[in-house]
Amino acid sequence: MPGCLAAFPQAAQHLFRIIAFDWDGTAVSDRRADAAPVAAALEELLELEVFIVIVTGTNFGNIDRQVCSLINSPHKRRLHVCTNRGSEVYGFDEGGSPMLIYHKEATPHENELLDRIATAVRQDIEGRSRVSVAVVFDRLNRRKIDLIPEWPDPPKSQIGKLIKKTEARLRDGGFAGGIHSAFELTAYYSRRFGLAGARVTSDVKHIEVGLTDKSDSMRWIAGELCRKRNIPFADMLIGGDEFGPVAGFEGSDFHMVLPELAAPGAAGPAAEAEDWPSGSTYISVGPEPNGVPAQVRYLGGGPACFLELLQAQIRLHRQLLPADDPAAVLEETGFNHLREREIESLLAIGNGYLGSRGSLAEQVRSSAPATLVAGLYDKTSEESIEELIVAPDWIFTRITVNGEHLYAAKKSLLEQRRILDLSRGVLFREWRHRGHDNRITLIRFTRFAPLADPHGLVERVTVRPENYRGDIHLKTGLKICGGCVPALQIIEKDAGKNGGVFIEARTAYTGITLVQHQRSAAAPGFIEPARDSQSDDSGVFENWRWRAAPGQPVTIEKYVGIYTSRESAGPAQEARSHAGRLSKRGFTGLLLDQAEAWRQRRAAVAISVDDPESQQWLNFACYHLISAGNPHDERISISARALTGSIYKGHIFWDAEMFILPFFIFTHPPTARNMLMYRFHTLSAARGNAIKKGYAGALFSWEATATGADMTPAAVLDAKGEVVPVLSGKLEHHISAAVAWGAWLYWNVSGDDSFMAGAGAELLIETARFWASRVTARDGVFHILGVEGPDEYHDEGVDDNFYTNLTARWNLRRAAEVVEWLKAGWPQEWQLLAEKLGFDDGEPARWRQVAAGMHLGPAARVAGKRAEKKPLPAGPREAGLTEAARGADAKGGPAGAPTGTAAGVIEQFGGYFQLEDIDLGRLEPRWAPVDVLLGHERTVASQLVKQADVVMALYLLEEELDPAAVRNSFDYYEPRTCHGSSLSPAIYGLVAARLGLMETAWHYFRRGARIDLTYGNAAGGIHVAALGGLWQQVIMGFAGVRITREGIYVYPRLPGQWGKIEFTLLWRNMQLRFTVRREAETGVEIAGEGEAKLGIFGGRLTPLAAGSYVSRWGGDGWGDFKRPGAEPGAGVVALPGDQGPAGEKGGLFDKSS
């Protein structure tokens, strides 16, 4: 029934909290109709806290039999039935049994009058004509004069026919005035016999005279539901089928149209939106042959239309509530003050521009609320490092009942549920508090940071006393963080002007102005809270005060605009007008916008597995990744804890490119581009780093803020309270290759040539220049000495870290290729760039020479006790590199440069194999970092590895390594890796999946997925890079995605716990939607212009236009992608490891756990 909704789009936009309607003809066609569909819809609405009121002329028994008996919900107490034309109201108790809650009983005198009137009308009609009519006397408070007794129960749908037949019957029988005269006659006798206020109505078949009509039902609803529950008339939908005149008199449903309900302004102090009337909404779904009154919207369509409206309301209500799917939410129940800061991180909301921890609004002592804004850094002194500062706390709301502050505490907490909707970025909290004198208060919060509107923050608070009448005070505002360091300097506070309150503040050293402007409003209702505002040293606040009775909710909505001088020359004005715009749009509209924005973003990710627990982990990962992404600002990137906590001071590490960036490259390229442009904008700082150390090109800072300057502290206190130097800032140079890798991957996947022709090329060239200057030549072999690889246990400077050398070599080669590409295809851009960079045409040759001569490991030398017990696996070849990788620079470099390892295991750095080989298994199970258990000195002198180092290289540059070396090296390093970094498990899981070690891969997937979700790890903020790693494990590992310049390969290998996985990737403006069924088929739906070159890894690429394709499992490998139904090709590509789990060796952990 799209026409029905099209005529009344508000059914899908405006939340109705009361739906009152006529039954017969509106909700069902007649009393014999199957009411099950409408009963199901009503039951759902009751559960959604909508009051349902059936307004009918008939008695309760008829309605109960047809519909009420079908509703068994515990929420049935919100169902009411107004029967007998306004004379009775039925409700339902907790057990669902009906209760008569209102009853009007005629006095004997009134009954006598009614009898006399009906009898007089009958006698009059029959006396002056041949028409015989019947009188129904046994009705409560009314009598019915049946004008057409021979048609006992005419359906409403035949109203036209009924009019004709009745009129004909009366006329033919000599009663020329017809129905209208019968109506007037009834009114006449009512007046004549002195029945004051008699209600005369007609449904054509009958003329009824009574003491009440449907207007009495509506008055009951207005008083008992609207006023007593503080529900504005505007939130009431009233449906019927007979509003318009019939046979010359008002339709029976017109009695539901009360002036006080329909009139604008009747609903309370303010309308929700300018284009929405503040009175109740009347709709008619009936035939209405003579049109409808002005107060009523005509829809037509009958009960089917009405049902469609109910279903639209259900969808709308559901959109404003947490998702039903348990995998799509993260729920915390109760209150445990010990876990509070951890929960705050997990439940943080954000939109890339800002993040806000999921703290309790009333700020309990165990809370650490923080709102962080991307790029808003400051420091405590000229010499100190920059860190993210905490903005005034916008979530602060304190509720006081009769002078008692309400706050979460075990003794007063009856219930508490906090639900983060991972699919929509909305945090819900429902809290029942028991206070003094056993006062019970229900408080609901809904909070979100609009994804598509990054400068806004929105919260709604509803307070409902359950069992008391009391004075309620809600104080909400912007609270200055008293103990935060660095502290903001408050420039101006305003409480009262400009329709809200605001704070303008400035950072001390970085000179950034921050403005937050709050507007709050009471939702329309009969209770009109009084508002005032205040400003003091702790912040600026709006106070709302009201008196409420049991069951009367009052809702305060809060809108905050937030701007800094980084984005605007006039942040104060921007913040103010932004808060105004949010307020005008209104909470419901903003929440619907939020749902739509998230739906679009999630559609570009669309990762799903058929295991609910895994699905929730992935939803959690994607939620925080999307929340961290900032497509609005290319001068900042994503910190290692995003904007969910301050523990890493908001610093940006290599995590950004290696762990977080790929997610955005494949799902939201604008965010990915911004992350890389941030590196481009900070090139001058990176050049400065290189110059300071005596090198050329660009060395990116290990820890950076908006400026790109190195923010790594020189020294810190360690666990024993001793001052120790921090060497990562000095030695982890591999970050420059990470930036180059990110730029290359983005270019390959997005096809954004304009990026590579400008910023991208500059990043690659400057990083290549760094590596070319960073090497030390010895006998024609190039070494990188004195660095720290990703494995930070060996942090005192190692030589020839394999990962660093390999990625540096890759960086040098890619830069040389890009120069050629630019010269050939973008000559003007190249000329400009070459001039800008002072480019020497001999540089690419030098890069190739260095790459070709790069030292990549001596022959493996194994030392240590353990190695004697477990010899290194014998490799099939001498070196760990592929022929192609070795020969790539044959023209440019010296022959015979040492590459790879003997015995097929790559050495992590020079001399690594000579270190003590400690059996990590002897320390397991453990719950403490290995370097703490063993001590730093012993750890440094051992082969124990903190995190993926060689294994990181196995992932990133697999194509440059011999497959046997990949397997042997993984087997070697896996039992020696302590996973002391959250970045480690996902990479091991990824490589394990590519090797077909599925139990190992699953073990690491589970471990990586739970890093934040267990044991307080997240108190300082969530590990967004680990979550990015988790996504990579699924896509690059389980799905086996590999990227080349030419195209994209997959080779899915799913763990035994999953039967199916679906995911979406963006590839050069095309969308690739994959569906993998384990060891059965891999389907892909390609959408977009052009062709995507797609293949099974190990096989060939095939150009595929938009459409569906499938690759089938051939028993030990995957076939080529073909159109569904096409003959499977002969070729099946099989990778090592598809022989099944037998290939899995015993490892360090119990993989079955």
Residue among 1084, 762, 118, 286 at smallest CA distance from 1093:
1084
**Which residue has tokens 């024993």?**
720
Give dist(CA 100, CA 121) in Å, integer. Answer: 32
Question: 991, 1037 in Cβ contact below 8 A?
Answer: yes
Of the two residues 440 and 932, which places its CB atom closer to other proteins in the complex?
Answer: 932
Query: Closest separation between CB of residue 641 and other proteins, Å?
Result: 9
Say how many Å lie between the first and final Cα of the chain, rounded.
52
- Report the alpha-carbon distance of residue 996 to residue 1000 in Å, rounded: 9
Please state the closest distance from residue 355 (CB atom) to other proteins, in A: 17
DSSP letter at 309 equals H
| Residue 1109, beta-bridge partner list | 1084
Residue type at 764 in one-letter notation: L
Shortest Å distance, C-beta 941 to other proteins: 18
CA 591/CA 589 separation, integer angstroms: 5
Q: How far apart are CA 38 and CA 36, in angstroms?
A: 6
DSSP 482-536: TT-SSPPEEEEEEEBTBTSEEEEEE-SSS--EEEEEEEEEEPSSS---EEEEEEE
Nearest approach in angstroms of CB 1010 to other proteins is: 10
Q: How far is CA 637 from the centre of its chain?
A: 20
Phi, psi of 49 (to 5 degrees): 70, 25
Minimum CB separation of residue 532 from other proteins in Å reads 33
Positive or negative, the CA dihedral 1097, 1099, 1100, 1102 is negative
CA 941 to chain CA mean position, Å: 46
Question: Would you say 888 or 978 has its CB closer to other proteins?
Answer: 978
Nearer to other proteins, 975 or 980 (CB): 980
In the complex with other proteins, the residue whose CB is nearer, 479 or 1007, is: 1007
Which residues share a beta bridge with 457?
560
Spatial separation of the C-alpha atoms in residues 794 and 593, rounded to whole Å: 50
Smallest distance from other proteins to CB 1008, Å: 11
Give the number of other CB atoms < 10 A from CB of residue 383. 6
Nearest to 299 by CA among 647, 692, 2: 2
The nearest distance, CB 630 to other proteins, in angstroms, is 21
Whichever of 932 and 964 has its CB closer to other proteins, that residue is 932
DSSP assigned state of 1128: P
Taking the least distance from each CB to other proteins, the nearer of 571 and 790 is 790
Task: For the CB of residue 398, give the shortest distance to other proteins in the complex, in Å.
Answer: 19
Taking the complex as a whole, the smallest distance from the CB of residue 725 to other proteins amounts, in Å, to: 9
- Nearest to residue 298, comparing CAs of 309, 312, 286? 286
**CA 499 – CA 517 distance, rounded (Å):** 9
Closest by CA to 533, choosing from 524, 521, 523, 550, is: 521
| Residue with smaller CB distance to other proteins, 713 or 786 | 713
Q: Which is nearer to other proteins, 639 or 908 (CB)?
A: 639
Gap between the Cα atoms of 331 and 428, Å rounded: 9
- Tokens matching residue 1127: 């003959």
Instruction: Tally DSSP H helices, then E strands, for the chain.
Output: 33, 44
Please state, in angstroms and rounded to a whole number, the distance separating the CA atoms of residues 741 and 814.
Answer: 9
Collapsing DSSP to helix, strand or coil, 51 comes out as strand
Judged by beta carbon, residue 824 or residue 927, the one nearer other proteins is 927
Nearer to other proteins, 702 or 1058 (CB): 702
**Do β-strands 440-448 and 1081-1096 pair in parallel, antiparallel, or remain unpaired?**
unpaired
Q: Shortest approach of other proteins to residue 980 CB, angstroms?
A: 6
Tokens 């190195």 map to which residue?
A: 710
Q: How far is the CB of 709 from other proteins (least distance, A)?
A: 18
Rank residues 569 and 719 by Cβ distance to other proteins and give the closer one.
Answer: 719
Minimum distance of other proteins from residue 343's CB (angstroms): 11
CA distance 598 to 209: 56
Under DSSP, the state recorded for 158 is G
In angstroms, the CA 5 to CA 490 distance is 51
β 18-22/51-55 pair status:
parallel
Question: CB of 698 within 8 A of CB of 686?
Answer: yes
Tell me the closest approach of the beta carbon of residue 728 to other proteins, in angstroms.
Answer: 8
In the complex, least distance from residue 717 CB atom to other proteins, rounded to whole angstroms: 7
CB of 851 to other proteins, least distance (A): 31
Return residues touching other proteins (CB under 8 A).
336-339, 341, 365-366, 368, 640, 647-649, 653, 713, 716-721, 726, 728, 792, 923, 925-929, 931-933, 979-983, 1011, 1015-1017, 1019-1020, 1023, 1025
How big is the CA angle at 515 (ends 514 and 518), to the nearest 5 degrees? 145
**978 or 1135: CB nearest other proteins:** 978
Please, which residue, 720 or 836, has the CB nearer to other proteins?
Answer: 720
Residue closer to other proteins, measured from CB, 752 or 791: 791
In the complex with other proteins, the residue whose CB is nearer, 979 or 1006, is 979
Q: Which is nearer to other proteins, 413 or 863 (CB)?
A: 413
Of 483 and 842, the one with the shorter C-beta distance to other proteins is 483
Q: How far is the CB of 378 from other proteins (least distance, A)?
A: 17
Q: Name the residue nearer to other proteins (CB basis): 69 or 333.
A: 333
For residue 709, which of 274, 409, 384, 957 has the smallest C-alpha distance?
Answer: 384
Residue 286 CB contacts under 8 Å (≥ 6 apart), including other chains = 25, 26, 156, 159, 240, 241, 242, 243, 244, 251, 253, 300, 302
Q: How far apart are CA 559 and CA 457, in angstroms?
A: 6
